């Protein structure tokens, strides 16, 4: 925190009170629980005339979802273009909240001039219940809210969650060493590093020797271990765009949760939001989002429209310039807040995980394996496999099947048909094509490594890289396997990665990260669309007959709207309205709608020929919720 202490008294005071022993966190001190967050928020707002706190909703657990608004004045806050910064939708992503508060303080103290032309809305913790559980003495990494869900549909809810058998305060994994015949072993200890569990590579002559479970016992004696733990709805699966209906934690319907509803309502009520930054488990800044795939309707992009690629590329460059971040996991964005903002609200929506695993330091001669900036195949549930949305089948299997089909038939697979495919069909096709099916383990091997596909054999797995990093950095991110006599499973070992250690950096890194994220926010704001009016240019063609020309020019580095929203008309257009009577307009429209103006000097040109007794009384009105309404007088 040294940098901040030098810079400002206010920030120093905030962080002086936020040092607390968060023993539930692998990275120990310095992360804010809800009470500390409230104190920090109030201190930021009380210390400055340009910041206000409001409550935008209440969680299921009865906690307030807070918004802090930064603007030149309260009156102008909702009337000028705004950036929305949202954090803490995933309860485990505590680093996002830390960044949100640091961005707020830093901009208020050092960059408040930017608030004269742009508003910053910050929702630092959208899921206060989920976050709070990650500060409890026993933690397993809580993703979602407090919704009670009967995961196994046995009419009891939350009856068999994980249990801390070895009493170390964490839920980790169990290796069952001598599984019975009816439950064949699935994994073995990685010969390269026995702490890691891998699936056997038959070609290498490997044989599985254990099964993996979440730590715990079968509390309800139904023969299944830990099948229905606490809650919850994953708020990042509860939004409308590609809502993953059959996921166990996606909610009963989109926006079923008060937390997701509060976010959606806030966005719908604020037409002045011109861009959004979501700090959470998704990233579209380190890795350019997919530009090719469509959703099941075939009309909306799965991630982004190819025509918006330049916008995202530019933002990604600004991000790398500001933060230097090179690694970010890929997470499925179905039903996420940030996808909804883009696909259904037309808002340029950027997302960052804030912190990725640093590359092992270069002076370590052991790391001769080149590990370029490949996207890490980590998933939200950290199994290393990406869900396909078809039962528990992993995306890699679907990809292999599609490849096999395309090779055989010479035709491209119509991706929109994938939604019709059932797991049974996959089993059948896979058998015909000789493809081994990869499945996403449902409740269990949360930490099973990304294994398989011979191509990658030589390079280190993601898990191995994490272990290497933890060792280098001296971080306690892994529980060594220890023998334990399980009441029903017999001999097991308990250990594995700690729940939050691969998402949240050591607390001493937070201040420096905060400066980088603030720098990025400032760069984004500077790149925002900026529309100005050129003209009017008026020429009298004959007595009382005039030609009028006006152009709208966007000098910003970003388009006024995403290309996708322009073609799908998901946003309200700018409206230009001429005051003349329709009968007096010989050429041109009385009312024109402008769906978007390109970046870097993009223009929208308008020309009319009108009849007027007194041109000085005529006006052109520009109605624009995001860039402000204006009236142009045609008289000089």
- Six token digits for residue 473: 């950095």
32 to 71, contacts with Ca ion by CB under 5 A?
A: none
d(CA 191, CA 205): 12
Q: Round to the nearest angstrom and report the end-to-end CA distance of the chain.
A: 57
Closest CB to Ca ion among residues 224, 375: 224
Closest CB to Ca ion among residues 183, 369: 183
Least distance (Å) from Ca ion to the CB of residue 397? 28
Binding of Ca ion by 130 (CB under 5 A): no
Binding of Ca ion by 482 (CB under 5 A): no
DSSP 310-349: HHHHHHHHHHHHHH-----B----TT-HHHHHHHHH---E
Closest CB to Ca ion among residues 152, 332: 152
Candidate residues 193, 220, 359, 392; the one interacting with Ca ion per rule CB under 5 A = 220
* Helix/strand number for the chain, H first, E second: 14, 20
Question: For tokens 């002559």, what's the residue?
Answer: 205
Q: How far is CA 23 from CA 20, 136, 165, 168, in A?
A: 9, 8, 18, 11
Q: How far is CA 259 from CA 34, 40, 253, 294, 351, in A?
A: 15, 21, 13, 28, 19
Binding of Ca ion by 150 (CB under 5 A): yes
CB atoms within 10 A of CB 393: 23
**Residue 45 phi/psi, 5° resolution?**
-70, -40
Closest CB to Ca ion among residues 168, 621: 168
Candidate residues 78, 164, 547, 621; the one interacting with Ca ion per rule CB under 5 A = 164
Binding of Ca ion by 360 (CB under 5 A): no
Closest CB to Ca ion among residues 161, 316: 161
Which segments of 445-505 does DSSP mark as H helices, in order? 462-473
Closest CB to Ca ion among residues 129, 228: 228
> 294: Cβ–Cβ under 8 A, 6 or more apart, which residues?
300, 301, 302, 415, 416
Interface pattern 404-443 for Ca ion (x via CB under 5 A): ----------------------------------------
197 to 216, contacts with Ca ion by CB under 5 A?
A: 216
Choices 99-107, 116-124, 221-229, 411-419; region in contact with Ca ion by CB under 5 A:
221-229
Least distance (Å) from Ca ion to the CB of residue 221? 7
Candidate residues 48, 166, 209, 630; the one interacting with Ca ion per rule CB under 5 A = 166
The site for Ca ion, by CB under 5 A, has a size of 19
Closest CB to Ca ion among residues 209, 219: 219
Closest CB to Ca ion among residues 63, 446: 446
Question: For tokens 């933690």, what's the residue?
Answer: 139
Radius of gyration of the chain (CA): 27
- Six token digits for residue 506: 């050591």
Closest CB to Ca ion among residues 154, 509: 154
Candidate residues 66, 90, 129, 152; the one interacting with Ca ion per rule CB under 5 A = 152
Candidate residues 66, 90, 129, 228; the one interacting with Ca ion per rule CB under 5 A = 228
Binding of Ca ion by 230 (CB under 5 A): no
10, 105 contact by CB (below 8 A): yes
Choices 5-13, 141-149, 151-159, 311-319; region in contact with Ca ion by CB under 5 A:
151-159
Interface pattern 511-550 for Ca ion (x via CB under 5 A): ----------------------------------------
Least distance (Å) from Ca ion to the CB of residue 496? 9
Question: What's the residue count for the chain?
Answer: 636
Helix (H, G, I), strand (E, B) or coil at 541: strand
The full 3-state SS of 217-250, as one line of letters, equals CCCCCCCCCCCECCCCCCHHHCCCCCCCCCCCCC
- Six token digits for residue 562: 């995403």
Binding of Ca ion by 387 (CB under 5 A): no
Candidate residues 73, 156, 408, 453; the one interacting with Ca ion per rule CB under 5 A = 156
Closest CB to Ca ion among residues 148, 202: 148
DSSP 79-123: TS-EEEEEE-SSTT-HHHHHHHHHHHHHHHHH-GGGGGT-EEEEE
Binding of Ca ion by 154 (CB under 5 A): yes
Give contact residues for Ca ion (rule: CB under 5 A): 150, 152, 154, 156, 160, 163-164, 166, 168, 170, 216, 218-220, 222, 224, 226-228
């Amino acid at each position: 925190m040294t940098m901040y202490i030098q810079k400002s008294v206010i920030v120093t005071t905030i962080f002086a009170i936020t040092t607390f022993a968060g023993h539930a966190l692998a990275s120990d001190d310095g992360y804010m629980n809800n009470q500390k967050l409230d104190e920090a928020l109030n201190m930021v707002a009380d210390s400055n005339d340009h910041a206000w706190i409001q409550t935008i909703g209440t969680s299921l657990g009865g906690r307030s979802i807070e918004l802090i608004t930064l603007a030149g004045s309260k009156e102008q806050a909702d009337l000028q273009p705004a950036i929305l910064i949202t954090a803490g939708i995933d309860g485990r992503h505590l680093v996002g909240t830390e960044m949100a508060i640091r961005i707020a303080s830093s901009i208020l103290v050092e960059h408040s001039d930017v608030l004269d032309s742009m508003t910053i809305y910050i929702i630092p913790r959208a899921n206060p219940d989920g976050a709070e559980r990650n500060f409890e003495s026993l933690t397993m990494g809580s993703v979602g809210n407090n919704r009670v869900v009967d995961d196994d549909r046995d009419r009891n809810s939350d009856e068999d969650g994980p249990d801390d058998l070895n009493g170390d305060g964490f839920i980790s994994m169990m290796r069952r060493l001598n599984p019975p015949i009816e439950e064949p072993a699935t994994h073995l200890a990685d010969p390269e590093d026995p702490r890691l569990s891998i699936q056997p590579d038959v070609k290498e002559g490997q044989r599985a020797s254990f099964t993996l479970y979440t730590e715990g016992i079968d509390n309800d004696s139904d023969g299944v271990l830990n099948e229905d733990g606490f809650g919850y709805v994953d708020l990042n699966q509860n939004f409308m765009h590609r809502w993953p209906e059959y996921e166990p934690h996606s909610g009963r319907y989109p926006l079923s949760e008060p937390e997701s509803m509060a976010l959606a309502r806030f966005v719908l009520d604020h037409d002045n939001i011109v861009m959004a930054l979501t700090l959470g488990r998704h990233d579209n800044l380190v890795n350019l989002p997919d530009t090719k795939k469509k959703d099941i309707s075939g009309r909306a992009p799965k991630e982004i429209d190819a025509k918006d690629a330049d916008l995202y590329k530019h933002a990604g460059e600004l991000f790398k310039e500001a933060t230097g971040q090179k690694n970010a996991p890929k997470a499925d964005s179905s039903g996420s807040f940030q996808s909804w903002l883009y696909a259904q609200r037309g808002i340029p929506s950027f997302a960052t995980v804030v912190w990725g695993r640093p590359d092992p330091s270069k002076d370590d001669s052991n790391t001769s394996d080149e590990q370029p900036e490949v996207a890490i195949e980590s998933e939200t549930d950290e199994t290393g496999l990406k869900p396909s949305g078809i039962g528990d089948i992993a995306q890699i299997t679907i990809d292999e099947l599609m490849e096999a089909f395309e090779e055989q038939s010479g035709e491209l697979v119509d991706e929109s048909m994938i939604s019709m495919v059932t797991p049974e069909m996959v089993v059948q096709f896979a058998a015909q094509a000789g493809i081994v099916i990869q499945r996403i383990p449902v409740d269990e091997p949360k930490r099973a490594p990304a294994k398989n596909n011979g191509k990658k054999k030589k390079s280190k797995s993601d898990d191995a890289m994490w272990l290497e990093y933890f060792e280098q950095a001296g971080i306690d991110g892994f529980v060594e396997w220890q023998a334990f006599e399980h009441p029903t499973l017999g001999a097991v070992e308990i250990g594995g990665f700690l729940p939050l250690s691969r998402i949240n950096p050591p607390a001493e890194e937070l201040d420096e990260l905060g400066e980088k994220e603030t720098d990025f926010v400032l760069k984004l704001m500077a790149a925002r669309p900026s529309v100005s009016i050129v003209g009017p240019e008026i020429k009298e063609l004959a007595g009382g007959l005039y030609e009028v020309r006006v152009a709208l020019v966007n000098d910003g580095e970003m388009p006024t709207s995403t290309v996708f929203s322009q073609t799908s008309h998901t946003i309200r257009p700018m409206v230009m309205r001429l005051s003349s009577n329709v009968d007096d307009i010989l050429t041109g429209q009385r009312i024109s709608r402008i769906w978007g103006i390109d970046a870097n000097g993009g223009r929208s040109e308008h020309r009319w020929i009108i009849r007027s007794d007194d041109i000085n009384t005529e006006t052109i009105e520009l109605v624009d919720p995001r860039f402000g309404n204006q009236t142009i007088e045609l008289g000089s």
